[in-house]
Structure 1
Amino acid sequence: MVGKRGITTGSNPKESTYLQKDVEDRGARPPQDRKYRFRDNRELDFDDQRRMEFKRKLLESVESSEYLQEYRKSDDELKKIKNKKLRKFYESQNDKLDDWLEVNAIVKALSDDILESFDPRDDNGDGIAEGGGALQDTQGCVEPFLPEEEQEKRRVARRNAKWAININVIANIILLIFKGVAALSSSSLSLIASLADSALDLLCTAIVFTTHKLVEWHIGKLRRKFPVGRRRLEPLGILVFSIIMIISFVQILQESVEKLTSKGPHKATQLPPIAIAALAATIGLKGIIGLGCMRIKTTQVQALAQDCKTDVIFNTLSLIFPAIGHAANIWWLDPAGAGLLSLFIIWDWGCTCFENVFRLTGLAVDDRVYAKLTFLAYRFSPLVKGYKSIQAYHAGDGVWVEVDILLDEKCPLEVAHDIAETLQYCCEGLPEVDRAFITCDYTTWGPTGHALENYQ
């Protein structure tokens, strides 16, 4: 007897144990359930046959594209290509092959477990869903079903992001104290600007650290208040910091202009040894941290990497301008340098500010991510008649996806559900995607499915 999707799995400890056993040992069933002792010898019911056919078509679609890896160029082959444009083409092709390989691995890993989870069954009528899938046992999480190397990759990325944020907090506290002592021994405006930059760096890492912790906290009250997650707090924190950084350096720019336009007498400022040591330490430490952060592709850590790059440039010029000004006895070089540095910071963080504003307001994804999502949808081509539309846009750092698939107008509801929701979980298995919405249609004609006023 086929059960209904309404069967729950969390209320019965015995049931949960059986479902956990399914995750660890697929096909295993309770020993007292005699019906499953000869599972391989009995004929599959209609629903099982349909799902087996579903999986067969999906996996054939994945396996049919394995030959594409033959077109990959190795690192040694790329180095031998002298033409830069040709080498760039093959590097881009390798990136596409990486994306397609990732899509194939996710579809192959998720399709089996997802399908078995859609219709928990009570085959022997004892009130226990022996046929429940593994998705219920993981409380809806899909990461445990991904290939082990992909799980390890994501675990390492989260760990590295955490370490990068913590190291930045400690480094900025040390540098702020060091520069504070140095600023007390010099009247250099460039050094004061560098001190302000370090203070704002500490504020930046504090904002990033706080938003990172808020996103990580698993508190029931927060889940009810933010039903689709709190990941958009991260770009919002970067946006707030960008605005603070711009306002602060507008003030420093104003002071530079006032010093340049003030009446004399003027004297070139000399940096004391402790100030030189503070700036040199900042350049070295921030350079090392920045190189480490560049490899971690999360928006928070990338913002810290950008901050480290800015610090290296800023402190290098803060060291050069006063030194040259004192050596050549050019008094205006120090305030002019501080003004130029302020303009650079305002422009750099202004770009970051607008980038986060655009992402928070629904910026379309880049071509590579869109191609990756299109390829994922195409994996389901043996199961659908076509695709009416594929849209992908940012909702903060993460991506939201809308796919409108075409099915036969006489397609049963359970078939339409299984196709759409399997595609949805596969989309959300990608690291770039936060949420996916799959809708079904039976004709390419007709309205778009959304009120046109909302697109204005």
Structure 2
Amino acid sequence: MASISSRPSSPERSQAADQTKAPINLEPVSPKSQSNHSAITVQDQVDAINPLSSKTATANADAKGPIVEVDTLSTSPDDPLDLGRHRRSNITQRQMKADHPEANKRRMKKFYTRQNALIDQFLQSGDEERLAALDMEENGPKVKFAVNASFVVNFFLFIIQMYAAISTGSLSLFATAADAFMDLVSSCVMLVTSRLAAKPSVYKYPVGRTRIETIGIIMFCCLMTTVAIQLIIESGRALGGGPDESEDLHLIPIIFVSIAIFCKGSLCIYCFLLRRYPAVHVFFIDHRNDIAVNSFGLMMSIIGSRIVWYVDPIGAILIGLLILVSWAANAFEQIWLLVGKAAPKEYISKLIYITMTHDSRIRKVDTCRAYHAGQNYYVEVDIVMDEETPLKITHDVSQTLQRKLEGLADVERAYVHVDYENDHDIYEEHKPMYDVTQRRSIKQRVKEIFGRSKKAEA
């Protein structure tokens, strides 16, 4: 939906809201001119925030304070629909209990927090590209340092883990060394794919090569799951073979691994502060997981060497299972991005808001779709303009809207289609002109024969 829902107790809908089910009207429409699609006016979009459910409305009547702080100033160009007046400044649970005694205060707080965030996204969407450029200019060196430092630490962590594993023969340390090696390989893969994606060939790859990053991640996930399976097999053999004589775990490998874990922890905190950047966010997750895996592996290795021998292979099996499950889940997640998973409904609402407020000559928003084509979105928007509008104006309006949509951080490419009516069936737009008739099966033919015989008898 284009409007911000005001039903706190309503369940979350699925991400299939990639298409408006009714055109959004940007001007008052008389009853005579309404089409078979129910048009939603801008005033409806603004007022749609106010109504609450019957239970909440009753609670609203008993509220001790105002529900929404209304800005009495006129609408500004930055907020043409005056959405700012619907933001709640005080959304604490105590205030929610005072305003809505009969409602669930946690759900009310969650609802208004989500609504405030959605309004902020709407109002900041026009400056998103400029703010992103300024932010990268300010924090770009920090992001680069985080990425480079993470790569260096991963390299030295692999060397330390291999030394500790070879010197002690611990399967748990071999498992952590394999994980460190795959982290190093993943960094190289992402570096290569990112550089390939950043150098598009207009003639060979007209829409760019950004999807190669997703393919690289899937290939790496397959390799990682293979290594995890091999670790599980070897650990199972060691567990079934009984105790063997291996070198005791000396103090030096423990110190080296502890230093590596400390470096990982420091970088994890640093990357946590810059986690809003995708490249740094990946390394933040990597460092967080490595701290847990390496600490667990070191603990299992010490226990297996000093106390009980079978703890070491069991720890290696558990680490292998963790690696297998996490990377398999990551692979399936990336596959859905290539298939064309729809964008969340909040993002669709943001796109509709940008389209609605782009130009006053846009009368309606007929459809709006956004779906993954790799890491980013492809956006398709159908707008309705007056049929008497000159071609030059419709071209300029649609072209500037396309450029604005492609300026969003998560949009790879945008397509804007201009129409003069919204009476057509939107599901017929991409239907083939000629349907290919398929041969009937024997079962269908038998049913048809018996159907004819029954009609003849009747």
> Does TM, scored on the shorter chain, surpass 0.5?
yes
Query: Does residue 291 in structure 1 map to residue 269 in structure 2?
Result: yes
CA change 1:183–1:170 in 2 (3 A) is same
Contact 2:359 2:397 in 1 (8 A): no
Query: Does residue 316 in structure 1 map to residue 332 in structure 2?
Result: no
| Aligned residue in 2 for 1:450 | 430
Distance across 1 between alignment mates of 2:93 and 2:299: 38
> 1:306 pairs with 281, 285, 293, which one?
285
Query: Does residue 395 in structure 1 map to residue 373 in structure 2?
Result: yes
Query: Does residue 362 in structure 1 map to residue 340 in structure 2?
Result: yes
Give the superposition deviation at 1:359.
Answer: 1.0
SS at match of 1:439: strand
| Aligned residue in 2 for 1:71 | 87
> Where does the alignment leave 5 or more consecutive residues of structure 2 unmatched?
1-74, 97-104, 434-458
Distance across 1 between alignment mates of 2:367 and 2:247: 64
Distance across 1 between alignment mates of 2:95 and 2:289: 34
| Aligned residue in 1 for 2:148 | 166
Give the superposition deviation at 1:191.
Answer: 0.5
Give the superposition deviation at 1:81.
Answer: 6.2
Give the superposition deviation at 1:244.
Answer: 1.4
| Aligned residue in 2 for 1:19 | none
Give the superposition deviation at 1:67.
Answer: 5.6
> 2:320 pairs with 342, 348, 363, which one?
342
Contact 2:125 2:354 in 1 (8 A): yes
SS at match of 2:342: coil
Contact 2:83 2:119 in 1 (8 A): no
Distance across 2 between alignment mates of 1:330 and 1:69: 65
Per-residue Cα deviation, 1:151-208 (whole angstroms, up to 9, x for no partner): 3114346544433322222111211222222222101100111111111111111112
| Aligned residue in 2 for 1:52 | none
| Aligned residue in 2 for 1:198 | 180
Per-residue Cα deviation, 1:202-224 (whole angstroms, up to 9, x for no partner): 1111112222333344x8xx344
Aligned AA (1:370): I
Distance across 1 between alignment mates of 2:382 and 2:432: 17
Distance across 1 between alignment mates of 2:226 and 2:369: 36
CA change 1:156–1:216 in 2 (3 A) is farther
Distance across 2 between alignment mates of 1:72 and 1:413: 43
SS at match of 1:225: coil
| Aligned residue in 1 for 2:169 | 187
Give the superposition deviation at 1:258.
Answer: 1.2
| Aligned residue in 2 for 1:421 | 399
Contact 1:208 1:238 in 2 (8 A): yes
Give the superposition deviation at 1:297.
Answer: 3.6
> 2:122 pairs with 100, 108, 115, which one?
100
| Aligned residue in 2 for 1:207 | 189
> 1:435 pairs with 410, 413, 419, which one?
413
Distance across 1 between alignment mates of 2:116 and 2:269: 24
> Where does the alignment leave 5 or more consecutive residues of structure 1 unmatched?
1-58, 107-142
Query: Does residue 241 in structure 1 map to residue 223 in structure 2?
Result: no
Query: Does residue 178 in structure 1 map to residue 178 in structure 2?
Result: no
Distance across 1 between alignment mates of 2:209 and 2:220: 18
| TM-score, scaled relative to structure 1 | 0.69
| Aligned residue in 2 for 1:33 | none
| TM-score, scaled relative to structure 2 | 0.69
SS at match of 2:264: helix
Aligned AA (2:204): K
Higher helix share: 1
CA change 1:388–1:66 in 2 (3 A) is closer
> 2:110 pairs with 50, 71, 88, which one?
88
Aligned AA (1:357): I
CA change 1:326–1:180 in 2 (3 A) is closer
Distance across 2 between alignment mates of 1:307 and 1:331: 30
Per-residue Cα deviation, 1:103-151 (whole angstroms, up to 9, x for no partner): 2446xxxxxxxxxxxxxxxxxxxxxxxxxxxxxxxxxxxx5xx3xx443
Give the superposition deviation at 1:437.
Answer: 0.2
Distance across 2 between alignment mates of 1:163 and 1:232: 26
Aligned AA (2:166): L
Contact 1:405 1:439 in 2 (8 A): yes
Distance across 2 between alignment mates of 1:225 and 1:269: 57
| Aligned residue in 1 for 2:238 | 259
Contact 2:235 2:313 in 1 (8 A): yes
Give the superposition deviation at 1:85.
Answer: 3.7
Per-residue Cα deviation, 1:55-110 (whole angstroms, up to 9, x for no partner): xxxx9664434561662537xx659769544443333233212211212446xxxx
Aligned AA (1:214): L
